[in-house]
Structure 1
Amino acid sequence: MADTGINEVSANMDRLLRAFPKQTEKFMKNEAKDLRKKMVAFAKSKVKKVTGNYFKGFKAGKKVYKWQDAEYNVRVYNSAPHAHLIENGHRGMYWGRKGGWVPGKHIMEDAMRRFEPDFTDHVENELADFVVKELEK
């Protein structure tokens, strides 16, 4: 009996989110800020050598946009010019000689994967509670 209630709420969640677009956008921006903080903390644990402004380069996007099948998306990215080298790996250079391959740390992918359960929990608890309170008014 409880399963049917959960299924009905999840089936109607898209319709409910469209009814409160400003609150949904605010929620997504706050989640992006939270993810950015977790990415910085995760990057500090994985990257030992401090080079440039890598940690300061993590940014949460300001615009909520539609992309592929999801209606609400916010970018979290790193604007440091060498971020892609740390993320994806690069060929090392040592004293002017070609070095071996330096593997990527894949910080953003791993941090996003770790953040997914928290995001799902926040959607189920915080956003759903807000929608229920608004519908009760």
Structure 2
Amino acid sequence: MLDGFDMRELDKFNRELLNTAKKEYPKEAKAFLRKEAKELNKKNKQIFASKGIGEETGNLKKGFKAGKLYKYKGKDLAIRAYNSSPHAHLLNDGWMHKAKNGNEKFIPGFHFIEQSAESFENDYYNSIDKFLDELFD
């Protein structure tokens, strides 16, 4: 509770509205989720480019994709935004470099996925509000 407002009830109401939209307007909800996954990938590419990673090749930047819609835990619709490049997780999380002479050194990751998810969160909530306003007006 912050300054006398309990945001959990408002969040719960927002989730119920979104579930109603999914049940009543499934095509619109699916299209909305696909659009948001593409927006998240745009944010991923922007933050990735701002870090200056992989400018020599474009393979990692081309690997950002939106997955298929699926039911998360059997009830909620979800979609993944991911990078299909085999080395994307190494640049994001870091890796242990092992030299031929036996020396090991940890190379830290850039954490561009986490940063883009944090920066996208507010935009996503605003998009949900706009989607629900358009749907129920």
Match of 1:110 in 2: 115
Among 51, 57, 60, the alignment partner of 1:54 is 60
Runs (5+) with no aligned partner, structure 2: 1-8
Give every structure 1 segment of 4 or more consecutive aligned residues whose post-TM-superposition deviation is greater than 2 Å: 6-12, 47-52, 96-99
Report the alpha carbon displacement of residue 99 of structure 1 after superposing the two structures with TM. Answer: 4.7
Q: Which residue of 2 aligns with 1:78?
A: 83
Q: What is the 5 A alignment of 1:1-137?
A: 7=10, 10=14, 12-13=16-17, 14-50=19-55, 52=57, 53-61=59-67, 63-68=68-73, 71-93=76-98, 96-97=100-101, 98-125=103-130, 127-133=131-137
Asked if 1 retains the 8 angstrom alpha-carbon contact of 2:98 and 2:104, the reply is yes
> Residue type of the partner of 1:55?
K
Q: In the comparison of the two structures, how many residue pairs are matched?
A: 125
Residue 53 of structure 2 aligns to a residue in which SS?
A: coil
Distance change >3 Å, CA 55–CA 70, structure 1 → 2: farther
Indicate the RMSD between aligned Cα atoms, in angstroms: 2.4
TM-score (norm 2): 0.78
Cα deviation for residue 48 of structure 1 reads 3.4
Structure 1 residues 93 and 54: alpha-carbon distance in aligned structure 2, compared to 1, 3 A threshold: farther
TM superposition shift of 1:10: 2.7
Higher mean C-alpha deviation, range 25-34 or range 72-81? 72-81
Give the conservation status (yes or no) of the 8 Å contact 2:91–2:110: yes
Mapped partners of 1:11, 1:88: distance in 2 = 32
| Closer, same or farther: CA 70–112 of 1 in aligned 2, 3 Å | farther
Q: What residue identity is the alignment partner of 2:132?
A: A
Query: How many Å apart are 1:17 and its aligned residue?
Result: 2.6
**How far apart are the structure 2 equivalents of 1:11 and 1:36?**
24
Percent of aligned positions that are identical: 31
- Report the alpha carbon displacement of residue 15 of structure 1 after superposing the two structures with TM: 2.0
